[in-house]
Structure 1
């Protein structure tokens, strides 16, 4: 192991146990030896040099190429050790790390210039992957966002259904309302709301793959007259809506465009309208997107702090009526996704290749670790244009969820009896 990498690891890893096998076959241990050990096997000198210079990007890339293996603990175990010790890293080359952080903050706006054309290209990288891949690890409704776990023992499908009920209750829906779903994915939420509440849904996406699936689902479920989907940027819309919902899309807006996003929502939302924004966020101060995620997973993406979002809402003339922070719910969601992906890994490799599978494994596990041991959370921000549009207390949310759950349970029971008759 080269001297510089050894020095960094000795200073960084104070708690836990990290084993590092170098290209020459020698294995060193770092930390106090407590807990479940994590093990990195660096196979090539090239990978070792790259990790020394830029570990946040080089380590996942070396794992993707097979130049690094994680025989003990996997990605999740490694990230647990890193995050367990990250606070102690403040003493390592403090001046250099502060300068690097400042540079990253300076350049993050250039990395998030998400014009309409650039947003379409960014979406193609991730969301125009084959739906066959996503079917391998998502729930039956293809919900590619944080589930809601009132009980940890819930299945993924149960938790995603609970998420849809939770969002619907906050939207205070009535038959005949016009609803806009910004970033509609494969149509699951929009179709659920159209079917359950008889609202008229327009879902917009920049993904051709998602649009095709959502449109086919609307036809097959007999909802084409009530739910339609278009390939369109939200900035191009001109109609007005009674309700707006956006789940898992705001992370792709970019900090440069928050003013535009909320000004557009204010323009599209009727006077008595309600909006629900569901987005990944951070409980800490503003930060930057990791180099690995920015390059390989979500180009142009950014996870905001609440302090970056609320001022943009206020300046757009909108009123924040409720904020809920979902802690650990996404960690549990990603845990389910990771297990499902692992169980279907051979099928994923048949769709893409080994390098892609290793990239996806790193992405899912590192994301789970960030929600479990770092400052990533999920914001659900309810927004209105008038302060008397919604009830004065939050009781209506729980009441609405309960009624929806009973209705769905009764409907499911009727379907099971009909199938058995």
Structure 2
């Protein structure tokens, strides 16, 4: 690991690791996202210090700890509700499953990601600084930045829309009927408790739920930035290998051109090695996040279908279920589609290597280059995937399979 650190420009001190870099569009993107994440959860995932006033940093960290404690209390409340809430009808049992297990998995996701904060810093540094410093395509980099912000804003809009619409519809139902303002089933109060203390507790649960959505949602910004960054890294490498043909168009002697091509191809292999290292680190660092996302959405979809089957199909109830299902399906798709794009873009690399101009080499240089090219292409042909649970490949196909699995499980349960 020490050799890799020195290669990518990380220096150890007695207190922390120091990253040396020059600013580029990708670094600016990570900095802005990590600043948003810091305000959302009080943790700095940037490989550099955030340029924020010290007082602001201290306040954010204190507030984050307090909110973190409240979120843990919320998770405990929704989990113990399985043992304290009795005599629930099928619709409310579905709501119990809709929030209980998913809140646990999301909280596990949060703590696992925070524990791997230093690994995330090394990973993002390698993508934003080392790989971009080796070779970059400014047009592709601009498209990467635009796509990252597009998906980040879309995800934020879905989360805020889900929170707001759920509160508005539930509040309207509670105001026009005899039902209580119950978003999730907590350990206390009881569903039929109309006291002021119970009403305050339900509103508190609702507000703390927003805190959890913000904390976890901010971490997904980092995951999006990394996966989209890796997707475009493979596109940039394809452009790099295609550009090697230019070497043989110069005015140097053919022998010098062959030497330059050989060195440039070796440089590309090093770039590919570091990219594959990033893929492995993404799997290690965010594997729990991808697995948690799958479990959360599977349980959520099944619970929503059960709830829809047993509830009174009023406009407000249907709107809540459809909005929740739409937000879940879309947010899951955002991550699984981008992870699938990494696999798709990686399949183009071996073709770019083959079209890099190796056929211009002659004699001994041709022999050396062909051997090197064969090994490099064989390595590039290995399927590059990001997986959940270490076995489930995240892609367009697995996204459809997840939806079908949820419906299949619901069909089996509904027959009992």
- Give the strand-richer structure, 1 or 2: 1
Shorter chain as denominator, the TM-score bin is under 0.3
- Give the helix-richer structure, 1 or 2: 2
Larger radius of gyration, structure 1 or 2? 2
Greater relative CO, 1 or 2 (CA 8 Å, sep 6+): 2
